[in-house]
Amino acid sequence: MPKYAMVIDQRRCVACMACVVACKNENDVPPEQYRTRVLEMVEGEFPQLRMELRSELCNHCDNPPCVYNCPTGASYKRKEDGIVLLRKNRCVGCKACVAACPYDARYINHEKGFADKCTFCEHRLKEGKEPACVATCIGKSRIFGDMDDPKSPVRIALQNSDATVLLEGAGTRPRVYYIKKFSKPE
Amino acid sequence: MELTVTGVNALTSPHLHIWDWRVSLYLFLGGLSAGLAVMTTILHLRKGGALVKGEPAGYIAPLLVPVILGIGMFFIFLDLDRKLNVYWFYLTIQPLSPMSWGSWGLLVFFPVSGLFALASLPDDKLSWLMVEPLKNLAVATRVYLFPLAIINFAMGIFIGIYTGVLLSSFVARPLWNSAILPVLFLTSALSVGAALMIMIARTNKVRLWFTKMDIWMILAEMVILPLFFYGQFTSSGAHRQSIMPFFSLSHEYSFYGFSMLVLFVILPIALVMKMLEIKEDHEGELTSQALAKMRLSACLVLLGGLIIRLTFVYAGQLSKFT
């Protein structure tokens, strides 16, 4: 069984936002709402400034607080591949998952009322395709694959770099890894 | 076209608050009904039932518990974005979700408090029930008054704690993610319950008994609240940052700073007023002035409970795990 994960190689991101547009188009995300975003953050003190471009999305955590806090079992982690998904018919729109997510990855779909989020484009995975954001990424910053397959792009990317996860201290064990633009491997 | 997407949350855009005044009111009214349920049980069982004799609060307060709880549940229902799916709460049990076991707890508390209200109705008030089956049920449940009172008490404590646990289970929101929060909410629930009981009561002995009880509850609140802030301040950077809105006088956080200022003024005032009340001579009827003072101090306690729920619900969403 695959164990899907994503690597964001921040060294290759140019903040073209093609991933954001592809995601909105693929998943019919309402206007002014996003399943993924690219943060542009300035760090440091003048004149030692640098900009970090960071793609953020649902981390499909192995220890997902959104799933644990869901009162109806609408949010669940799929056993076959570890993707965190939503049974829309069960969602009551209580927003517990939105409050529980430390990554602010969830939002209430204003048009349909359920707690929407990234699904790693699981409908495309069924067809053997990559998620829309990965397929469209011109800099190959977004890398997707099976962590259990030694030949998969994510395993290769992680083997050759110093990757981190977001908010490791939260104990959520995310499946989205970041190769930071300015960090150097030991 | 230039498209820029940045991470925005309630801190940068207040309209992105996840939960709003509806959830605050639900937590306040849920806590109030829980506190009142505990107080009604105490009223019925204290001194072998001597306290409740000749006291209208003995049957009015139990009737108010399911009514207040119902209004609170209505507000949480208003907050749901998919109201027609509400039945899913009761088609599953999610043991790790406080909202799940809380909703099952409410399902138990609501009928228990209703049955206790029926059981505590005296003969001359049975006409309030209008329909014959309800009157028969009220008579039939009287023999179970004691066990119902005990369950009512236990469920009151459970719901009082649950209103705090609902918030404290989120690792993502450092202000809420504290084990002291459920204790604070329970104490506040008991305090507002006692305050409402004072407002309902008609006899001096009951008013004074619950005034004494409220003094202890306010004192407990005044110890737990600073302890909560101290715990947050000495914890991680995110926890320390999470309480800053309460202690900032900048216009951005003026709501929280002002609310905390009000809270730290009204709770001691209510405490002093109550301490003066129990020192007065209450042999005869209370003068209208003394009664007004008693009700004013009870209103201050209720206001304090509301402020705690409103500010904590909103400020928690400004805090973020970092």
pLDDT for the residue A59: 97
Q: What is the pLDDT of residues B294-303, one digit of tens each?
A: 889 999 999 9
Q: Looking at the predicted structure, is the pLDDT value of residue B208 above 70?
A: yes
What gap in Å lies between CA B196 and CA A61, rounded to an integer? 45
How many residues does this entry show for chain A?
Answer: 186
State the average pLDDT over residues B172-176: 95
Q: What is the pLDDT of residues B212-242, one digit of tens each?
A: 999 999 999 999 999 999 999 999 999 999 9
Q: Tell me, what DSSP letter sits at residue B131?
A: S
Domain count, chain A: 1
Structural contact between residues A29 and A35, judged by C-beta atoms closer than 8 angstroms: yes
Among chain A residues, the shortest Cα distance to B97 is held by A69
Q: Which DSSP string do the residues of B34-100 spell out, in sequence order?
A: HHHHHHHHHHHHGGGGTTTTT-THHHHHHHHHHHHHHHHHHHHHHH-SSGGGGGGGGS---TT-HHH
Q: Is the dihedral of CA B229, B22, B164, B91 positive or negative?
A: negative
What gap in Å lies between CA B206 and CA B261, rounded to an integer? 32
Percent of all residues in chain A with a pLDDT value above 70, rounded to a whole number: 97
pLDDT for the residue B1: 35
Q: Looking at the predicted structure, is the pLDDT value of residue B11 above 60?
A: no
Token pair in block for residue B169: 């289970």
In a domain, A99, yes or no: yes
Residue type, A57: L
A170 with B321: Cβ contact below 8 A: yes
Global ipTM: 0.89
Average pLDDT, rounded, for chain A: 92
Q: What is the pLDDT of residues B56-101, one digit of tens each?
A: 999 999 999 999 999 999 999 999 999 999 999 999 999 999 999 9
Say yes or no: A17 contacts chain B, CB-CB below 8 A: yes
Partners of residue B134 on adjacent β-strands:
none
Q: Which DSSP string do the residues of A48-61 spell out, in sequence order?
A: EEEEEEEEE-----
A102 with B6: Cβ contact below 8 A: no
What gap in Å lies between CA B317 and CA B10, rounded to an integer? 6
Structural contact between residues A115 and A107, judged by C-beta atoms closer than 8 angstroms: yes
Task: From chain A, pick out residues whose CB is under 8 angstroms from the CB of B81.
Answer: 92-95, 108, 113-114
Say yes or no: A139 contacts chain B, CB-CB below 8 A: no
Structural contact between residues B258 and B269, judged by C-beta atoms closer than 8 angstroms: no
Confidence of residue A38 (pLDDT cuts 50, 70, 90): very high
Lowest mean pLDDT among A87-96, A141-150, B250-259: B250-259
Q: What is the pLDDT of residues B242-288, one digit of tens each?
A: 999 999 888 888 999 999 999 989 999 999 888 888 877 666 677 78
Which residues lie closer than 8 Å to A126 by C-beta, 6 or more apart?
none
A95 with B170: Cβ contact below 8 A: no
Percent of all residues in chain A with a pLDDT value above 90, rounded to a whole number: 83
In a domain, A50, yes or no: yes
Helix (H) or strand (E) holding A94: none
What gap in Å lies between CA B175 and CA B168, rounded to an integer? 8
Structural contact between residues B21 and B140, judged by C-beta atoms closer than 8 angstroms: no
Q: Tokens 């049955």: give the residue.
A: B115
Q: Looking at the predicted structure, is the pLDDT value of residue A185 above 70?
A: no
Please give the residue range of the domain that contains residue A81: 4-179
What gap in Å lies between CA A147 and CA B184, rounded to an integer? 45
Give CA separation, A96 vs A55, A66, A116, B105, B179, in Å. Answer: 24, 7, 12, 17, 18
Q: Looking at the predicted structure, is the pLDDT value of residue A184 above 60?
A: no
Shortest distance, CA A55 to any CA of chain B (angstroms): 10
Structural contact between residues B138 and B2, judged by C-beta atoms closer than 8 angstroms: no
Interface test with B, best of A35, A69, A91 (most B CBs within 10 A): A69
Helix axes B204-233, B21-45, angle to 10 degrees: 130
Give alpha helix (H) positions in B234-253: 237-242
What gap in Å lies between CA A36 and CA B52, rounded to an integer? 61
Token pair in block for residue A112: 């349909």
Interface test with B, best of A39, A42, A56, A92 (most B CBs within 10 A): A92
CATH homologous superfamily of B17-316 equals: Formate dehydrogenase/DMSO reductase domain (1.20.1630.10)
Number of neighbouring beta carbons within 10 Å of residue A100: 24
The secondary structure of chain A in percent helix, strand, coil, rounded to multiples of 5, reads 25, 25, 50
pLDDT for the residue B287: 79
Average pLDDT, rounded, for chain B: 91
CATH of the domain at A169: 3.30.70.20
Give alpha helix (H) positions in B142-203: 145-168, 180-200
B172 with A38: Cβ contact below 8 A: no
What gap in Å lies between CA B32 and CA B68, rounded to an integer? 8
A69 with B5: Cβ contact below 8 A: no
Between A65, A94, A98, which is nearest B80 by CB?
A: A94
Q: What is the pLDDT of residues B176-185, one digit of tens each?
A: 999 999 999 9
